[in-house]
């Protein structure tokens, strides 16, 4: 007849009357030395209490939700292999801070034999991690399942689950007694992720951003976001998450175009207009789009083909005090530069007065975002998905350009040229880098001489 011993709560420091949040074994289960048998949780920490012996659990003396302190009897065990039974025998709790996840702690949580007590420390009040910001997050992953038993997982695995937003009740455990290990959570996340065959739908399971209480570090002011900005945030996230972005940078020599623009100033003023480089770029892009159909396409909803649009409506990002909006200029290919300048001025004015109708912002095949009037040398605009590319314009600059060839011995001179920086972002599922480079090269060529825009 094997010896029977009572397993008690060991020395757990200053903790008293802490709640049992998980019972990891049941009568009839076999436990190994150092295998966790319960998890307890105070307002400061979660920790596992291991078995000091190997044997069979004959009886549990506690229930979920009970409060326990050092010395409380947890279970009666038929001992097969004696270990140190004294409550004082437990090594000191291993702490892991919330700022930096220690791999050792995760290991420990997965491989309970390595350490007797794993402690997950909590900060007072709100913390830098959502998982412990409010009690609700904790309860979510350690909540009993429908059959009343808590998911069987250590603090490290539970915290990992919280970070990924995984409900542990949905994951199956491959550890001893069905214990859910970190690898099981990864397997579960993979099983619920879309298969990702290149379709146009987004992935999911993106870890949430920690909810930080910044007021803990200094004074803060909370400002409500205007609706336009909130809608833009959703659209930008959707685009960014769906389309693998690459940005091709280029520099267009627009010296002649700029001379022409200056010569046209008076004529523009007579029409009550101001010409900017953007108006020439609109025209150049409409020509390039005719030659590069992929750039005016969208991925079909099943991701298996392209829908090429045979119209040349271009979105233009407009900065307003309420946020970014993208009204659409229609049939740019059929309009002259003055007409485009006039229509864009009207749309931008409507945008700033918040008078754009939904139809004013629909139907673009490609977009342009100009920061040239503000500054900067290059940027990475976000594609307005389901469009597949967007052209960013930065500030004109006069730069020296070598008039000769790469054979420097053949001679040449540096000449001042007016350069317009181009930043073409594209959805790499649809457009290859080579095509992007050809597209910006062609746009640059079209901008190098205004005569090209007439042809
Ligand atoms: N380099 C140097 N100067 C430039 C320039 C460039 N690339 N582009 C415009 N300018 C000049 C204009 O000629 C104008 O100069 P003047 O006042 O001397 O005539 C001045 O900068 C202001 O131009 P503008 O911005 O009013 O006009 P625009 O036609 O270039 O642009 C619009 C119109 C509506 C696109 C612009 O006002 C705007 O809102 N831009 C911001 C777009 C934005 O926020 N994009 C970021 C989105 S994130 O991807």
Which of 264, 274, 370 is the pocket-test mutation for ligand 1 (most atoms within 8 Å of CB)? 370
Domain membership flag for residue 213: no
| Statement to judge: residues 81 and 126 lie in one domain | no
Domain membership flag for residue 219: no
Number of neighbours of residue 107 by Cβ within 10 angstroms: 14
Domain membership flag for residue 221: no
Residues 6+ apart with CB under 8 A from 359: none
Q: Which of 64, 97, 130 represents a domain boundary (last residue)?
A: 97
Domain membership flag for residue 120: yes
**324 Cα: distance to centroid of ligand 1 (angstroms):** 14
**407 Cα: distance to centroid of ligand 1 (angstroms):** 38
| Statement to judge: residues 450 and 307 lie in one domain | yes
Alpha-carbon distance of 453 to 274, in angstroms, equals 18
Residues 6+ apart with CB under 8 A from 9: 40, 49, 68, 69, 70, 71, 72, 74, 87
Considering its fold, how many domains does the chain have in total?
Answer: 3
What's the mean per-residue pLDDT of the chain? Answer: 81
Nearest CA to ligand 1 atom 22: 373
Give burial (CB, 10 Å; 0-12/13-18/19+) of 381.
Answer: buried
Domain membership flag for residue 395: yes
Alpha-carbon distance of 181 to 161, in angstroms, equals 10
pLDDT tens-digit profile of 27-51?
A: 998 888 888 888 887 766 667 888 9
pLDDT tens-digit profile of 355-401?
A: 999 999 999 999 999 999 999 999 999 999 999 999 999 999 999 99
Active-site annotation, residues: 428
Domain membership flag for residue 117: yes
List the domain range (segments joined by +) for residue 297: 245-454
**248 Cα: distance to centroid of ligand 1 (angstroms):** 21
Q: Phi/psi of residue 307, each to 5°?
A: -110, 110
| Statement to judge: residues 201 and 263 lie in one domain | no
pLDDT score, position 149: 55
Q: Which of 50, 82, 97 represents a domain boundary (last residue)?
A: 97
Domain membership flag for residue 220: no
- pTM value is 0.62
| Statement to judge: residues 255 and 383 lie in one domain | yes
Domain membership flag for residue 357: yes
Tokens 């579960």 locate to: 188
| Statement to judge: residues 133 and 232 lie in one domain | yes
| Statement to judge: residues 189 and 296 lie in one domain | no
Q: Which of 30, 64, 97 represents a domain boundary (last residue)?
A: 97
pLDDT tens-digit profile of 99-138?
A: 223 322 322 233 332 222 333 333 333 332 222 222 232 3
Low-confidence ranges of the chain (pLDDT < 70): 1, 14, 43-46, 81-150, 155, 176-177, 193-204
| Statement to judge: residues 93 and 161 lie in one domain | no
Alpha-carbon distance of 77 to 4, in angstroms, equals 5
Q: Taking a C-beta distance cutoff of 8 angstroms, is the pair 82, 119 a contact?
A: no
| The ligand 1 atom nearest the CA atom of 320 | 39
| CATH number for position 417 | 3.30.559.10
Pocket of ligand 1 (CB under 6 A): 274, 276-278, 316-319, 324, 348, 369-373, 381, 393, 395-396, 420
Alpha-carbon distance of 338 to 279, in angstroms, equals 8
The tokens for 355 are: 């008078």
| Statement to judge: residues 132 and 179 lie in one domain | yes
| Statement to judge: residues 35 and 145 lie in one domain | no
| Statement to judge: residues 168 and 315 lie in one domain | no
| Statement to judge: residues 93 and 105 lie in one domain | no
| Statement to judge: residues 286 and 300 lie in one domain | yes
């Amino acid at each position: 007849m094997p010896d029977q011993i009572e397993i008690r709560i060991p020395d757990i420091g200053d903790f008293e009357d802490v709640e049992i949040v998980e019972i990891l074994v049941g009568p009839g289960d076999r436990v190994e030395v150092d295998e966790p048998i319960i998890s307890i949780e105070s307002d400061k920490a979660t920790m596992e209490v291991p078995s000091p012996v190997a044997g069979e659990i004959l009886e549990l003396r506690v229930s979920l939700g009970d409060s326990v302190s050092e010395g409380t009897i947890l279970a009666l065990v038929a001992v097969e292999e004696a270990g140190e039974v004294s409550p004082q025998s437990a090594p000191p709790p291993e702490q892991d801070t919330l700022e930096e996840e220690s791999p050792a702690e995760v290991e420990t949580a997965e491989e309970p034999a390595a350490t007797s007590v794993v402690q997950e420390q909590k900060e007072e009040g709100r913390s830098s991690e959502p998982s412990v910001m409010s009690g609700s997050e904790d309860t979510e992953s350690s909540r009993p399942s429908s059959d009343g038993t808590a998911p069987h997982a250590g603090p490290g695995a539970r915290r990992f689950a919280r970070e990924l937003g995984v409900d542990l009740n949905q994951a199956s455990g491959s550890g001893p007694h069905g214990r859910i290990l970190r690898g099981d959570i990864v397997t579960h996340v993979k099983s619920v992720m879309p298969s990702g065959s290149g379709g146009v739908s987004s992935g999911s399971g993106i870890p949430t951003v920690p909810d930080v209480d910044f007021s803990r570090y200094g004074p803060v002011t909370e400002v409500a976001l205007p609706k336009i900005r909130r809608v833009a945030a959703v659209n930008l996230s959707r685009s960014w998450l769906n389309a693998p972005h690459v940005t091709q940078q280029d520099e267009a020599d627009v010296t002649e175009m700029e001379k022409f623009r200056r010569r046209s100033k008076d004529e523009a003023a007579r029409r009550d207009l101001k010409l900017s480089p953007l108006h020439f770029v609109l025209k150049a892009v409409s020509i390039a789009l005719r030659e590069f159909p992929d750039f005016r396409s969208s991925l079909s909803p099943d991701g298996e083909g392209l829908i090429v649009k045979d119209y040349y409506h271009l979105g233009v990002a407009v900065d307003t005090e309420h946020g970014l909006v993208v009204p659409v200029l229609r049939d740019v290919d059929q309009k002259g530069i003055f007409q485009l300048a006039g229509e864009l001025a009207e749309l931008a004015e409507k945008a700033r007065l918040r008078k754009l109708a939904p139809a004013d912002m629909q139907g673009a095949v490609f977009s342009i975002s100009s920061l040239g009037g503000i500054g900067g040398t290059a940027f990475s605009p976000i594609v307005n998905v389901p469009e597949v590319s967007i052209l960013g314009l930065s500030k004109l600059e006069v730069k020296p350009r070598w008039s000769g060839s790469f054979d420097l011995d053949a001679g040449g001179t540096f000449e001042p040229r007016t350069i317009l920086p181009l930043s073409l972002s594209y959805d790499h599922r649809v457009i290859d880098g080579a095509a992007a480079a050809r597209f910006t090269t062609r746009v640059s060529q079209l901008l190098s001489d205004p005569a090209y825009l007439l042809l």
